[in-house]
């Protein structure tokens, strides 16, 4: 529960309050599927069901705004790791995918692929590509609108701190987020130096 009261010397009292209720059920499982010459093919899966309800009310300049939002959703994810042997080192491939359903947004999906190469036992290279969709939270959609006068904000143009009226709250017109990630990594953990583990990574996020 959140309850905010803002008193303004030159205007009426502003209030904003909200209540959020959450229910989640999650199940996970993992294990080997079958064996290949290079090793065991392994998989993991998870599924979930959730409910979230948010009720909010704000009073600004004598005007009362009431919002009641709820979301039910399901989530299913499956990932598989496939070992591949090469004369120039050990290769493994991985793939994962997930599908979720938000009652107020529809279907959302995510996919990912990865490659790992270990030319020697102490050195490992990895590359991953992930694409994901996600819906705004109920708080981002339905939080009550609140205006706070005389809030200090640093102005990067003028280089000084100014006082503004800050307006915060949810926006019911928000769209879903699409995210694309590319990551390359190097891990070096020499066995003869116990405790030494060097990691280098490069990533791009859109």
Asked if the model's pLDDT at residue 87 lies above 80, the reply is: no
Q: Which pLDDT score is estimated for 4? A: 64
pLDDT, residue 54, reads 78
By percentage, how much of the chain surpasses pLDDT 70? 92
What pLDDT is stored for residue 194 in this prediction?
84
Report d(CA 8, CA 64) in Å as an integer.
Answer: 17
pTM given for the model: 0.64
What is the pLDDT averaged over residues 68-75? 84
pLDDT at residue 108 tops 70: yes
Q: Which long-range contacts (CB under 8 A, 24 or more apart) does 60-64 make?
A: 60/14, 60/145, 60/146, 60/147, 61/11, 61/12, 61/14, 62/12
pLDDT above 80 (res 184): yes
Q: Is the pLDDT of residue 10 over 70?
A: no
Task: Tell me: pLDDT of 55 over 70.
Answer: yes
Whether pLDDT at 6 is above 80: no
pLDDT digits (tens, 9 = 90+) for 115-157: 999 988 899 999 999 999 988 887 787 777 777 778 899 989 8
pLDDT the model gives residue 138:
76
DSSP 176: P
The distance from CA 164 to its chain's CA centroid, rounded to whole angstroms, is: 31
CB 46 within 8 A of CB 27: yes
Is residue 5 over pLDDT 70?
Answer: no
What is the structure's pLDDT at 117?
Answer: 92
| Angle, CA of 75, 171 and 132, to the nearest 5° | 30
């Amino acid at each position: 529960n959140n309850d905010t009261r803002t008193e303004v010397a030159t205007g009426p009292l502003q209030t904003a309050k909200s209540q959020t209720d959450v229910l989640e059920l999650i199940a996970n499982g993992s294990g080997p599927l079958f064996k290949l010459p290079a090793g065991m093919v392994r998989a993991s899966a998870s599924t979930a069901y959730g409910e979230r309800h948010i009720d909010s009310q704000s009073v600004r300049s004598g005007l009362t705004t009431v919002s009641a939002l709820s979301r039910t959703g399901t989530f299913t994810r499956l990932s598989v790791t496939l070992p591949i042997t090469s004369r120039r080192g050990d290769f493994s491939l991985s793939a994962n995918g997930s599908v979720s359903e938000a009652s107020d947004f529809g279907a959302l999906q995510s996919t990912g692929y990865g490659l790992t190469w270990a030319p020697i036992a102490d050195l490992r290279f990895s590359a991953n590509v992930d694409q994901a969709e996600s819906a705004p939270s109920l708080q981002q959609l339905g939080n009550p609108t609140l205006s706070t006068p005389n809030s200090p904000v640093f102005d990067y143009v003028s280089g000084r701190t100014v006082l503004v009226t800050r307006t915060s709250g949810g926006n019911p017109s928000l769209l879903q987020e699409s995210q694309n990630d590319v990551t390359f990594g190097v891990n070096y953990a020499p066995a003869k130096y116990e405790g030494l583990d060097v990691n280098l990574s490069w990533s791009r996020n859109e």
